[in-house]
Amino acid sequence: MFDFLQITLSGREPLEHSGSNFNLRWRWLARGVLQLEPLHGYRMNVVLSAGIHGNETAPIELLAALVSDLLHGKRRLKVRLLVIFGNPMAMVSGERYNQIDLNRLFSRHYDHFPDCIETARAEQLELLVRDFYDQSNEGERLHFDLHTAIRESHHQRFGLLPHTDKGLYGRSLYSRRMLDWLHHSGIEALVINQAPSGTFSYFTSQHCHADSCTLELGKARPFGHNDLNQFALINQGLISLITGINLLPYAAEPIKVYRVTQELIKITEQFRLNFSESVKNFTRFSAGDVLARDGEISYQVQQTEEWILFPNASVRPGLRAGLMLVQVPTDSLFG
C-alpha cells in the first residue's frame, strides 16, 4: 500500500493507480489527489483539502493519517471522498506558494495571471473537483479546505464562509448540518465573506453547489513539529464525517459569527498599519480608531466595535492588507 503523503512529496506516481480493500475502492487521480469510494453506498460527497498553502503542515498530516487508516482498512468509509494536497511543490519547499498564492486563483482567476505552477494547479483542481461532484447525482456535497494561520488569534479555530447568494432564492444561506458539524468540531467562530473571491471554497460553493468552508485551525509549524493534540477535535470531526459514526462531544459555548464590514486595501507603498504587526486576529477596535494610513487616505473604525482579521502590510499594492469584521447574530447564517 502506498503512502499518499510521501508519494505526493516525492513527485513520483504510485505503481498502481487504483485498488480496493474490503470496504472501499481508491483511485489516484493526479499528484496529491486521491479519490476513495465505499463499496456499499454513501450519502455524501466530501472534498477535504489541505496544503493549498504549502507550509500549513498540520492539516496535511491529519489528512495523511486519515487516508492511511482508510487504505489499511482501519476505518470504514461511508462517504465518497476526494482528498487533495493542494500545492505539492510549495509543500516540498516549505513555503506558502512558489509564485502566486493558489488560494486567489480559483473560479478562473488564473486566467488573469502569467502561467506558472499555481495557475496550472488551480485549473487542474477545478476540473478534478467538478468531475468528482458531477459523477454523483445523489447526496449532499461538502468541501472543507483546511488551513493554519500565520499569526496568533483570539479564536484558536475559526471558519471562513464563502459569499453566497443562495438566500436570494428563499433558501438558507448556509447548511445547518454543516454549521452544527463545525460547532461540535471545535470551531469557535465563523466569518461570513461579503464578496466573491478566488478561494478554493468559494469555487466549490458557487460553481459546484457544495456547502463549503475554509477552516483556520491554529498556528503553522514545520512537518513533524505540530502539536496534533491541538487538532484533536477537528480530527474527531473529520473521522465522524467520513465514517458516519458520531464521536463528537456536546459543544457548550455558542459559536460567534462575524461578517466582513470593510477591507483595508493597500494602494501605494506608503501604506502603514497604525498598530503593531504582531496584533492577534480578532483584536477589537472602537469607533474612530485609525487602523491604517496610505498617503492622504486613512482607514478608521466605522462601527461601534470592529475586529481585525489577517492584517498584513507587506502585500503588494492593490491587494488586501486586512479585513475588518463586525459581530452579527447567528441567525444571519440562515438568511
What residue ranges bind Zn ion (CB under 5 A)? 53, 56, 147
Dihedral sign for Cα 228, 230, 236, 239, please: negative
The answer to whether the CB of 83 falls within 8 A of the CB of 29 is no
Return the active site residues.
216
Measured from the CB atom, the residue of 58 and 66 that comes closer to Zn ion is 58
Report the C-alpha gap between 293 and 309 in whole angstroms.
17
Measured from the CB atom, the residue of 122 and 248 that comes closer to Zn ion is 122
- We find the least distance from the C-beta atom of residue 4 to Zn ion, in angstroms, to be 20
Q: What nine digits make up the cell of 263?
A: 477591507
- We find the least distance from the C-beta atom of residue 14 to Zn ion, in angstroms, to be 27
Measured from the CB atom, the residue of 199 and 206 that comes closer to Zn ion is 199
- From the list 100, 243, 151, 227, the residue with the least C-alpha distance to 111 is 100
Report the C-alpha gap between 333 and 61 in whole angstroms.
31
Neighbours of 179 (CB within 10 A): 22
- We find the least distance from the C-beta atom of residue 221 to Zn ion, in angstroms, to be 14
Measured from the CB atom, the residue of 5 and 36 that comes closer to Zn ion is 5
- From the list 285, 332, 276, the residue with the least C-alpha distance to 307 is 285
Degrees, nearest 5: CA angle 213-222-49? 25
- We find the least distance from the C-beta atom of residue 58 to Zn ion, in angstroms, to be 11
Residue nearest Zn ion, CB atom distance: 147
